[in-house]
Amino acid sequence: MASVALAVAAIPEGLPAAVTITLAIGVARMARRQAIIRKLPAVETLGSTTVICSDKTGTLTENQMTVTSIVAGDELFSVTGVGYSPDGDIRTATGSTPLTVNDLQGRVALLACLRAGLLCNDAQIVQQGERWNLEGDPTEGALVVAASKAGFENHVLRQELPRIDVIPFESEYQYMATLHDQGPGLPRVVYLKGSVESVLQRCSAILDASGHEQPLDREAIHVQLQDLAARGLRVLAFARKQFPPEKAGIDHQAMIDPPRAEAVVAVQACQSAGIRVKMITGDHALTAAAIAAQLGLDGIAGMHAALVPVVTGAEVGRYSDEELTHVAETTAVFARVAPEQKLRLVRALQRRGHVVAMTGDGVNDAPALKQANIGVAMGRSGTDVAREACDMVLTDDNFASIEAAVEEGRGVCDNLTKFIVWTLPTNVGEGLVVVAAVLFGAALPMSPVQILWVNMATAILLGLMLAFEPKEPGIMERLPRNPHAPILRYPLVMRVGLVSLLLLIGAFGMFEWMNEFRHTGLEEARTVAVNVFVIGELFYLLNCRSLTRSMFRIGLFSNLAVIVGMLSMVTLQLLFTYGPSQ
C-alpha cells in the first residue's frame, strides 16, 4: 500500500488536463484579438519569441495603395485623391490645376503608362452604395483608380483591347505581362508591369511626351527611382511592345502604402519587450528603408531612407551561411528578398539561438513558415498553402495582432508556471508524508484513494482557476523567456521545497497528534491529514496568483474564478469529511 500511495502521490494527475485547458484558454483569448492558433503548443512558444520577421505590405502597412506620382515622357505628375474612390485628378508636379482632357491627349506617354497599368491588371473597383470596394490586389486596384482619374473606363478599354494571354506575377521574376488584340490588321501588343529593375533590363527605348522613342537613360531612371523610393513610395515600371512593328516604352507610377498607426505602436511595444522586429520585403531598398524609419525599427526612427542600413536579396545570395548569420543578427531591413532567401534568414537567426516568428502569404513562403518556430500566415491575402504550413493565422493581416498574440502567449506561459509552482508541493509533500511513515514505521497518514482525491479535486477546482488569471502589468516590458532555461528557476524551486516541507510537517504532525494523543482512530486521523493538504493548497493558491507580487497588491477579487473554485473546494471537502461513507 505504501508503494501504491507513493506512486499515486508522485504523479501530478491533473497536470495534463490543466496544461491543455490553459493553452486552450490562451487560444480563445488570441482568437478574440484576431490571431487564430492552428497548433496548440504554439501558444507557449509565442511567449518565448525573440525575433519577428515581418513582411511590409499589408502587415506593417495599411495595404491600401494610392497612386500619388507618375513619371512619363520626362515629366513628373501628381495624382490627387486617396483610397479607391475615383474622385481626384492628375496634375503636373508644379501645377495647381487639374489637367484637362485636351492636356492629357497631348501627353501620349502619360496615357500609355495609365493604359498599361489598367490592362496589365486583374483588379476591379466596385461601387456598393456610397463605398468603393476593391476586388483583387491593392496595388492593382490603385492602378485602376489612377487610370479612371484620367478618364479611362475599365470595362470599355478591356473590350477595345481584349486580353489573349497572360504571364502571372511571380516573385522570382518580379513582373506580370499581358497580350492584347488591337483589332483586325493591327499588331498585337504586350503590356508589362513590375519592379523597375526587372522592367528596365527588358527595355531598349523610352517614350517622350509625344510618344516618340528616345534613347534609354538608365542612370536618369535610377535617380528618379531613388528619389521616389526615399519618400516611402512604392515604384512600379510599365512597358509595352508591339508585334510588328516593334516599339517599347518605360514609365513609372509611384504609390504610397502608409504604415498602420497600430503597427507603429506594436513595433515599439515588441522592442520594449526585448523582441527584435525585422522587415523582409520584396519592395525597393529605399522604399523599405523609408517605411522602416517611420516604424522606428531598431532605433532608426526618423532617419533619412538613404542612411538606413538595408541588405538586398542580391547581397543575401552572395553571403555564406556564416556571414549571413552575422548579417541577419545586425540588420533590421531586408529588401528585394526572394521567398527562398526568407528560409535562409530564418535558419541564420535560429543558429544564433533566436525563437523566430515569420510572416508569409504566398505559396513560396511555405518553407520559411515551416522552418520558423512560429509560422504566421495572412488570413485575408494569404494562400491556402501558406495557411496550411503555418502555426498561426492573422484574420486581419495586421502586425499589431502578432504583438497581441505574443502578449497573450506570455500570459499563458506565466499561468502555466504558476500552476506548476502550485501543484508540485502537493505531490512532493504527499510523497514525503508516505516516505516519513515508512521510515518511522507508522501507519500511512493518507490512503492511495485519498491521495488521488486530493490530487484530482484540488487540480480541477483550485489549480485550474489559475488559467483564468489576467495578464500581469508590465508583461510586455520584460525580456523574453530563454527557451533553454528551466521552467522553475532557483527561487521557485526553493519555494516548492519550503511549501512541501510545511505540508509534510502539518499533515504528518496532525495525523500523529490525532492518532496517538487524541486516540480518534486511524480513519479520523487520515481525514484530518487530507484536510491539512486541501486547506494548505487552498491558501497557497492565493500566493501563487502572482510569482512576483503579493495577493494584496493584485487584489483578492481580480480573478473571480479563483473565488468560485475555493468555495467549491470547501463545499466538496465538507461533504468529503462529514458526508456518510455509504
Q: Catalytic positions, please?
A: 55
Place of cell 496550411: 388
Displacement of CA 183 from its chain's centroid (Å): 49
Write the DSSP string, 222-242.
Answer: HHHHHHHHTTTEEEEEEEEEE
342 Cβ contact partners less than 8 Å away, ≥ 6 residues apart: 53, 280, 358, 360, 365, 368
Q: Is 228 exposed, middle or buried (0-12, 13-18, 19+ CB in 10 A)?
A: buried
Specify the amino acid at residue 5.
Answer: A
With contact defined as beta carbons under 8 Å apart, do 70 and 293 qualify? no
Residue 563, Cβ neighbours under 10 Å: how many?
12
Sign of the four-CA dihedral 273, 275, 276, 278: negative
> In DSSP terms, which residues pair with 207 in a beta bridge?
213
Calpha distance 581→314 (Å, rounded): 78
Residue 202 grid cell: 527588358
Burial (CB count within 10 angstroms: exposed 0-12, middle 13-18, buried 19+), residue 294: buried
DSSP for residue 513: I
Specify the length of the chain in residues. Answer: 582
Query: In sequence order, what are the beta bridge partners of 194?
Result: 175, 237
Look at the alpha carbons of 325, 331, 333, 336 in this order and tell me if their dihedral is positive or negative. Answer: negative
By C-alpha distance, which of 538, 535, 564, 570 is closest to 551? 538
Cell of residue 338, nine digits: 526572394
**Is the distance from CB of 240 to CB of 190 less than 8 angstroms?**
yes
**223 burial type by CB count under 10 A (0-12 exposed, 13-18 middle, 19+ buried):** exposed
Per the structure block, which three cell numbers stand in for 421? 509552482
Residue type, 575: L
Torsion sign, CA atoms 94, 95, 98, 102:
negative
Q: How far is CA 158 from the centre of its chain?
A: 39
Angstrom distance (rounded) from CA 91 to CA 103: 10
Contact predicate 415/469, CB 8 Å: yes
- The Cα 290–Cα 232 span in angstroms is 5
Cα-trace Rg, the chain: 33
The residues that bridge with 176 in the sheet, in sequence order, are 193
